[in-house]
Structures are given as structure tokens and as C-alpha cells.
Amino acid sequence: MRRSLGATRRHILLQFLAESLLLSALGGAGGVLIGIAVTTGYAAAQSWEAVVPAWSTGGGMASTLLIGAVAGLYPAIRAARLSPTAALTTA
């Protein structure tokens, strides 16, 4: 629909990629929080000190964003190439 209202192919591509990255970032943040909670809970049950390295948290988020960008690239390119009339008929 945005294409028929004058958005360029670049705008559509960037919108799809931004949505993909946002969703993967939210999922990654949730996964990191659950991982920290499980690690802390298990460490507390064993009477250990809970240690979660910063590199593992950062690496998890970075890999999540990379996977989200790769997974969103094909649909973004496809949506950007779709003609405005075809986009309106498929909705």
C-alpha cells in the first residue's frame, strides 16, 4: 500500500528490514533475559555464584540481529520489487 502512495523501493526495503530487526531484537532480548534468569536460578539452587559474562550477552544479541537481518532480506527485496498495482491486489 505504501508503494501505491508514493514510497520508493528503498523505503519499502528499509521498512521491511527495520521490522525484521526490531522483531529479532525483541526476541533476542527476551531470550537473553530468560537465559540470565535460568542461569541465576540454577546457580542459586546449587549455592553457586551466578556469573553471566558480558560477551555472551552481547554475542547473543549480535547473532540474533544478524540472523534477523538475513531472514528479513529476501522478503524485503521481494516487497520492494512488487509493483503498486500487484501489491494492492494481493492485500
> Residue 6 pLDDT more than 90?
no
Closest CA to 20 of 77, 70, 80: 70
pTM for this model (two decimals): 0.79
pLDDT of residue 91: 59
Give the domain ranges of the chain.
29-90
One DSSP character per residue, 41-72 reads HHHHHTT------HHHHHHHHHHHHHHHHHHH
Report yes or no: 72 and 17 within 8 Å, Cβ to Cβ: yes
pLDDT at 63: 95
CB 64 within 8 A of CB 27: yes
